[in-house]
Amino acid sequence: MWFTMSVLFLIGLVYSIKYLNNPDPYTDLKALTANQVGVVFGFCGLVTGSMWARFTWGTWWTFSEPKMNLAALALTIYVAYFILRSAFDDPEKRAKLSAVYNIFAACTMPFLLYIIPRQLPSLHPGASGNPAFSQITSPSLRLIFYPAVIGFIGLAFWIMDIVLRYKKLQYEWEKDR
């Protein structure tokens, strides 16, 4: 889930930069869609990660675990992106400001998810000397895991395409009226 989310947020970042380079309403819609689907997958990762924590650490949520809390913070930064969008009526202004905000949000992402959790004491695999994912899983599990990552990224692309087609139609429809 986090793999898929990272890929989608990266796509959102690329389209936001593209929009600022060349203001085209469709590019803005693409960035919005990528972020929207990315947040859905991030939410999946957070909920299932919480479930995993229940069975390995014995608690659904702990505030002493930096990776968990910073992942939640990263998601709220993206929720703020949607709230920021809804605050503007002028589509051009909205697209421009949200593109700038999205670049900021995407830049905080690697720090929140990868750099800071590694600097703090943590129980999460892959943090502060704990074995990372590749060290505690067997090769046969990895054989399933990485195709599953690719599959979910494919699924995310498909969902993104459907949402994008819907948004384009809606945009044309609202424009004509």
Partner 1 sequence: MITNIIQQDTSTVVDTLTKAYESKWHAANNLSSSSTIIQDMASHNLIFIVLGVTLIIWFILLFFIIRLDKKVGTLEREFEHEQSITETGDS
Closest distance of CB 102 from partner 1, Å:
20
Q: Does 32 bind partner 1 (CB under 8 A)?
A: no
Closest distance of CB 3 from partner 1, Å:
13
Q: Which of 80, 132, 144, 155 binds partner 1 (CB under 8 A)?
A: 155
Report how far residue 75's alpha carbon sits from residue 67's, in angstroms, rounded to the nearest whole number.
12
Q: Does 143 bind partner 1 (CB under 8 A)?
A: no
Q: Which of residues 53-112 bind partner 1 (CB under 8 A)?
A: 55-56
- Taking alpha carbons only, the member of 17, 127, 27, 5 closest to residue 78 is 5
Q: Which is nearer to partner 1, 97 or 159 (CB)?
A: 159
Closest distance of CB 138 from partner 1, Å:
5
Q: Which is nearer to partner 1, 8 or 99 (CB)?
A: 8
Report how far residue 104's alpha carbon sits from residue 123's, in angstroms, rounded to the nearest whole number.
29
First to last CA, the chain: 39
Q: Does 10 bind partner 1 (CB under 8 A)?
A: no
- What backbone torsions phi and psi does residue 122 show, to the nearest 5 degrees? -155, 155
Q: Which of 10, 14, 20, 40 binds partner 1 (CB under 8 A)?
A: 40
Report how far residue 12's alpha carbon sits from residue 106's, in angstroms, rounded to the nearest whole number.
8
The CA-based angle 79-84-85, given to 5 degrees, is: 100
